[in-house]
Amino acid sequence: MNDSVRTSFRERHAALSEQLADRFSDKGCQVISQLGEVTMVIPSEHLIPVAMELRDAEDFMFKELIDVCGVDYSGYGQSEWVTTSASGTGFGRGVEAGRAARDDHPTDFASVYHLLSVANNLRLRLRVYLDSEQPMVDSVVDVWRGADWFERESFDLYGILYNGHSDLRRILTDYGFTGHPFRKDFPLEGHVELRFDQEKNRVVYEPVTIDSRTLVPRVIREDNRYLQPDSDEQDVADA
């Protein structure tokens, strides 16, 4: 990408950020412009009117919905292990998985929408934070028909409810599946296991027999970015 194209790209996104802030700030929307991308955080009660204006207004013309996905922010920015200590302690330690309480993030869940304006050659991300106990937001199927199966997938994997969706049922997991596998409190081994029972001549579900834990592998980092000033290697070098 040459300098003129890069400059034009930055200018168009800067102009989009200003237009969004001017048009939707009275609805409590927040515009974030970082890393060459524009994100607008929308209060859930304003999602549909804002979405319709983004689709129809000549300044925006976001006619294409590229994706709808869920996000689970529990444990966001946290890590179950530190590289240097994991490298020194070797293979796997078992830790208890669970949903950690957070004070530095508004909610655990969000519904995220990626939009494309072919007419204006622009992209935009919308983010709607949802209630942690019962994540629910209005369906955008009436705004963008392509949201239909995307919202079903988000419901299936994250348990996000899309109010007004005409056929909100699982799309990837089995009809009798328990829980939502992309939630960070969902155990990697699942809640149940299945097998074919010869006597009953059908598949049966049984409680999972694998112990719940997270395995942390041995990771060796030789890059000097991971060496600590007080490490043994540094002591040897100083000697």
Per residue in 62-74, pLDDT (tens digit) is 999 999 999 998 8
Task: Tell me what pLDDT residue 165 has.
Answer: 97
Task: Tell me what pLDDT residue 224 has.
Answer: 59
Task: Tell me what pLDDT residue 222 has.
Answer: 62
Task: Tell me what pLDDT residue 2 has.
Answer: 58
Q: Is the model's pLDDT at 107 over the cut of 60?
A: yes
Task: Tell me what pLDDT residue 85 has.
Answer: 55
**pLDDT tens digits along 125-139:** 999 999 988 999 999
Q: Is the model's pLDDT at 47 over the cut of 70?
A: yes
223/54: higher pLDDT: 54
Q: Is the model's pLDDT at 95 over the cut of 60?
A: no
Residue whose tokens read 């799309």: 171
Instruction: Give the CA distances from residue 186 to residues 157, 193, 204, in Å, rounded to whole numbers and listed in that order.
Output: 10, 14, 21
How does residue 120 score in pLDDT terms, banded at 50, 70 and 90?
very high
Q: How many CB atoms lie within 10 A of CB 123?
A: 17
Task: Tell me what pLDDT residue 5 has.
Answer: 55
150/177: higher pLDDT: 150
Task: Tell me what pLDDT residue 232 has.
Answer: 47
Which CATH number does 1-73+108-172 carry?
3.30.460.80
**pLDDT tens digits along 160-207:** 999 999 999 999 998 778 889 999 888 777 778 888 999 999 988 888
Helices 3-24 and 47-56, axial angle in degrees (round to 10)? 130
Q: What's the whole-model pTM score?
A: 0.76
For the chain, give the mean pLDDT. Answer: 82
180/91: higher pLDDT: 180
Averaged pLDDT, 133-148? 96
What is the distance between the alpha carbons of residues 200 and 87, in angstroms, rounded to a whole number? 49
Task: Tell me what pLDDT residue 11 has.
Answer: 85
Instruction: Give the CA distances from residue 45 to residues 28, 41, 42, 97, 138, in Å, rounded to whole numbers and listed in that order.
Output: 10, 12, 8, 33, 8
Q: Is the model's pLDDT at 39 over the cut of 80?
A: yes
**pLDDT tens digits along 197-239:** 999 999 888 888 877 665 555 555 566 555 555 544 444 444 4
Task: Tell me what pLDDT residue 71 has.
Answer: 94
Domain ranges of the chain: 1-73+108-172, 78-106+187-220
Q: How remote is the C-alpha of 235 from its chain's centroid? A: 42
